Amino acid sequence: MKPAIAKTVRYSLIILGLLIVGLLVAPFFIDVNSYKTQIEQTVEDATGRKLTIGNINASLFPWIGVELDDVHLANREGFAERDFASVQKLNVKLALLPLLSKNIEIKHFEVTSPIIYLERHEDGQSNWDDLVASDDAGKGGVAVDTPATQQPADAAASPALAALQAESLTLSGGELTWADAGSEPVVLSELNVALNDVQLERPVGVTLSGKLSGNAFDVDATVGPLGDLSKIDPVQLPVQGHIKAEKVELKAFKGFISGWPEQLGSIDNASVGLSANIEQHPDGLRLAEGELILNSLINVKVGWKVDMAKADVLEVRRATLAINGKDVFEARGSVNQLNTSPAFQLRLDGQPLQRSWLAAFAPELSTLYAGHPAPWKQVKFSTLLAGDAKQVEIRDMQLMLDEELVQISGAVVYAVPDIRLRIATRELHMDPWLPQPKEEPVTAGAVPAGKTATAGGRAASEEPAVEPDLRFLKPWRVTAKMQAGTLHLRGLQMGNFNVNINGSGGNFDLNPLRFNLAGGTVTEKASLDAAAYPARWKESVHITDVQVGPLLKTLADMDMLEGSLSMDSSLKATGLTQAAVKTLNGRGNVLMSNGKIKGFDIAGAIRKFTNPMATMGAKETDFSQLSGSFTVTNGVADNRDLFMASPLLRVTGMGSVDLVQKTLDYHVKPRVVGTLVGQGDTSPVRSGLTVPLHITGPFAAPSVKPEISASTIIENAPALLNKGKVGGTLGKILGGGNKPANQPAPADQPAPQSPEKKLLKGLGGAFGF
C-alpha cells in the first residue's frame, strides 16, 4: 500500500470512529426535552388544542430513535371533557446508514395504548371538523398549483419510499370510541396490529385483532408485494386474508339499526357471526367467500362466493339463504356496470317450503287455515330475474303450488309502479289456497268475537266490514293476463280460463274474463274506479247455456233451481263491502230452459186444491222455459214479466227481491194447460185453472201462500165446472154432485151454507201450506 493511500484510509477511519463516538454520546449532552415546549406550542398554534408530552428520549447510533411517552391531544371545545387522542408510548427507530443512501429502513415502530375518541352532535358538528378546517385554512381555501420548480423535489421523495423497509410495525392495546348524537357509543377496544418484514418486494404479513363493543374479531392477511408506491393501485393490490368474528352482539349498535323486524325478537338478544376469505390479484380478479350468521329468535345464515374478473363486474358464483337450519334458496348470476348504472341478472332456485314450517314465522297461517279440511301443503319457486335500478324483469318463474305448476313472466318498474304480468297454468285447484278459519263454538250465553249481545242474550249481527281505501293505487299501471286450462273453485271447473286486466290513473278494467262453466260459457267485463273513495265499480256479464244448479250452490249456497241458464246483466255500485249492496243498480234478463224449481210443487198444490184428499208428490216443478227481465234499484231487484212454461202449466209472475235484507215479495200465477188426473185424483179438470201464489220471507225460509179473492173464484169457476154444470169437484165443494135435488136434509144437519161460502171454505184449506 502506498503511503498516501494508507494515510487517507487511516484518517478516514479516525473520522468515522469520532463520528460514531459523537453520535453515541450526543444524546447524553443534548437535552431533547428542551424542545418539548416548542413542539407543544407549535401544535397548539396550528390546531387550537393543547398538546402535552410526558417525556422525549432520543438516540443517534446505531439507529436514530425517538421515543415519546404519555402524549395527550385535547378534545375540541364544546365536546366531551376528555382527550381527543392519547398515546402511552410512541417509539420509532430508523437505521442510520441506509439514510445516507436515501433509504428508509425502520428497525422498529411501536405504538402502545393509543386511544382515540370520535364524537358527533345531532347538528352534524364533529370533534375533528376543526382539524380538517385548519388544514384547508392554511391553504387559504384556494387551490394552489404546484410550481414547476417544486416538482423535482416532490418526485425525489419517491426513491426514499421505494426503498422503505421495516422489521416490525406494531400497535397494541388500542382503543377507538365512536359516539354519535347521543347514541350508545361503539367501542373498538383491545386493538392489536402487527406487520412483520415490511418491504416492497415480498408480501407483508398483517395480523389484526380486537373487540368491537366487547365482541372479539380477528384478521389474518398478507398484502403485497407493494412495488412502486408512487404507482400503487389499491384495486389491484394483491391481498389474501381471512376475517373472523364469532359473535358480535347487536345491542351496542341498535342506535344505527332501524326497522328491526319484530319476528326476530329483541335486538338486545341478537348477535351475528362472520367468517370470510378475501382474495385480490393484480390482474383484477377479486374473490370472496364466506358466511354471515344472525342468531336471534330466528336464525338466518347467508353464504356467498363471488368474484370480480373486472372492476365493474360482480359474478355471483353462489349465494345461499338458510333459516333455522333449512335451506330456502340459492342464487347465481352477475351484476354489471358497478361504476355507472348497475344491472343484474340472477337465477334463484328455491327449496320446497311447507306451510307448517312457514307458520313458525307467520303464525297467522295457522289461523287462516285452521278450519280447512284440506289446505295446501307446500310451495316452491325458481326464476330468472334481470334488471337495474329502475326495473326488474321476471323471466320464466316456475311456481309449484303443491304439485301444480304456474308459470309467470313480466316486469315491474319500481318508481311508478308499473306491473306487467303473464300467468299460465294447465290446471290449478284454488280451494286449498282459500283461507278457512276455524269457527268458534258458541255456548249458551256466549257472544262470538265480532258480535254484540242483544237484550235477550243472543248475538247480534257481525260488525260491518271496514271499507278499503284503494286510492293508493291511483299512480299504478297494471297489465296482466292469466290463462288456465282448468281452474277448480268451490266444486266448479272453469275450463279455458282467460282474464285480462289493464289499469292506470286509478281505473282498472277487466276486459274480458272468459271461461267455460257447467256446459256453457261465461264472459264478463268489469271496471274499478279506485281513484275515488269509496271505490266505484261496474260489470256486465253474458252467460250462455250454463247449468244453474251448481252455480247457485257455489255462489249463494242455494239449491232452488236447475236448468240451462242464459243471462245478460249490467250492474254498478259504490263500495266493496256488503254494505255496498244498497247502492247496487242495473238491469238484466234471464232465460232458463229444461229445468225445475225445487221446494215448490205447483201442480200438486193445484191438484190438492181440486181434491183435498189427493197426495202430494215431490216438492218440485219442472219447466221447459223460464224467462224474465229485471231492474235493480238501490239493492232491490224488480221483475214484471216472469214467464214459465211446462207441459202442464203456464206461470206468470211479478215482484221484488230485496238483496239488502235478503227477502222475497213475489206473486206467481200458475195456469193449468193440461189434465191433473193422477196421484189419487180421478176428477178431470179443464184447462185454465189458475191459483195465484204469494211468496214472501227470507231467502233461507220463504213462505208460499195462495192468494184467494172474489176475482180468483170468478176466474176459476169455468175451469171447475163439469160441462157447464155445477158438478165434479166444484159440485162436491158446493154440496152438489149426484144427490137428488129435492131430497130433504136430515133433521140433525145444520142449514145448508150458500155456494159462495162453501167455495171459499174449500179453497181456504186446499193447499195445506
pLDDT tens, position by position, 213-263:
788 889 888 888 877 766 777 777 888 899 998 888 888 777 778 788 888
Longest Cα–Cα distance in the chain? 191
Confidence check: pLDDT of 341 > 90: no
User: Distance (Å, rounded) from C-alpha 675 to C-alpha 689?
Assistant: 10
Domains in the chain, number: 1
Distances (CA, A) of 594 to 23, 209, 602, 767: 124, 88, 16, 26
From 610, 605, 615, 596, select the one nearest 692 (Cα to Cα). Answer: 605
User: Distance (Å, rounded) from C-alpha 25 to C-alpha 23?
Assistant: 6
pLDDT (0 to 100) of residue 764: 39
Which residues on neighbouring strands pair with residue 595, listed in sequence order?
A: 623
- Look at residue 349 and tell me if it is in a domain: no
Chain centroid to Cα 128, Å, comes to 43
* 21-46 exposure pattern, b = at least 16 Cβ within 10 A, e = fewer: eebeeeeeeeeeeeebeeeeeebeee
From 691, 692, 649, 645, select the one nearest 674 (Cα to Cα). Answer: 649
pLDDT tens, position by position, 465-495:
789 999 999 999 999 999 999 999 887 889 9
Alpha helix locations (H) across 56-95?
Answer: none
The DSSP element (H or E) to which 45 belongs, if any, is helix 36-47
Percentage of the residues of the chain whose pLDDT score is greater than 70: 72
Q: How confident is the model at residue 326 (pLDDT cuts 50, 70, 90)?
A: very high
Confidence check: pLDDT of 170 > 50: yes
- Look at residue 57 and tell me if it is in a domain: yes
pLDDT (0 to 100) of residue 751: 55
The larger pLDDT score, comparing residue 723 to residue 105, is at 105
Q: How confident is the model at residue 25 (pLDDT cuts 50, 70, 90)?
A: very low
Q: How confident is the model at residue 48 (pLDDT cuts 50, 70, 90)?
A: confident
Q: How confident is the model at residue 63 (pLDDT cuts 50, 70, 90)?
A: low
Please state the pTM of the whole predicted model: 0.67
pLDDT (0 to 100) of residue 737: 42
Confidence check: pLDDT of 629 > 90: yes
User: Distance (Å, rounded) from C-alpha 374 to C-alpha 360?
Assistant: 19
pLDDT tens, position by position, 118-145:
988 888 888 888 876 544 444 444 444 4
Size (the chain), residues: 769
pLDDT tens, position by position, 666-699:
998 877 766 555 444 444 444 566 778 888 988 8
Task: Pull the grid cell for residue 344.
Answer: 343484474
- Look at residue 61 and tell me if it is in a domain: yes
The answer to which of 60-74, 644-658, 710-724 has the lowest mean pLDDT is: 710-724
pLDDT (0 to 100) of residue 700: 78
The answer to which of 218-227, 363-372, 493-502, 750-759 has the lowest mean pLDDT is: 750-759
Percentage of the residues of the chain whose pLDDT score is greater than 90: 31
- Give the three-class secondary structure for 300: strand
Confidence check: pLDDT of 461 > 90: no
The residue type found at 233 is: D
Instruction: Provide the sign of the torsion angle of the four alpha carbons 705, 707, 713, 715, taken in this order.
Output: negative
Give residues with Cβ within 8 angstroms of 557, minimum separation 6: none
User: Distance (Å, rounded) from C-alpha 220 to C-alpha 204?
Assistant: 11
Average pLDDT, the chain: 78
pLDDT (0 to 100) of residue 67: 80
pLDDT tens, position by position, 78-117:
888 888 888 888 887 776 666 556 566 677 778 888 888 9
- Look at residue 374 and tell me if it is in a domain: no
pLDDT tens, position by position, 520-574:
999 999 999 999 999 999 999 999 999 888 777 777 677 777 889 899 999 999 9
- Look at residue 74 and tell me if it is in a domain: yes
User: Distance (Å, rounded) from C-alpha 436 to C-alpha 614?
Assistant: 48
pLDDT tens, position by position, 287-309:
889 999 999 989 999 999 998 87
Confidence check: pLDDT of 416 > 60: yes
User: Distance (Å, rounded) from C-alpha 742 to C-alpha 587?
Assistant: 63
Q: 63 is in which domain, residue-wise?
A: 11-126+163-199
User: Distance (Å, rounded) from C-alpha 381 to C-alpha 394?
Assistant: 12
- Give the three-class secondary structure for 762: helix
The residue type found at 353 is: L
- Look at residue 710 and tell me if it is in a domain: no
Which residues on neighbouring strands pair with residue 423, listed in sequence order?
A: 408, 482
Alpha-carbon Rg of the chain, whole angstroms?
A: 48
pLDDT tens, position by position, 572-598:
999 988 889 999 999 999 998 888 877
- Look at residue 317 and tell me if it is in a domain: no
- Look at residue 416 and tell me if it is in a domain: no
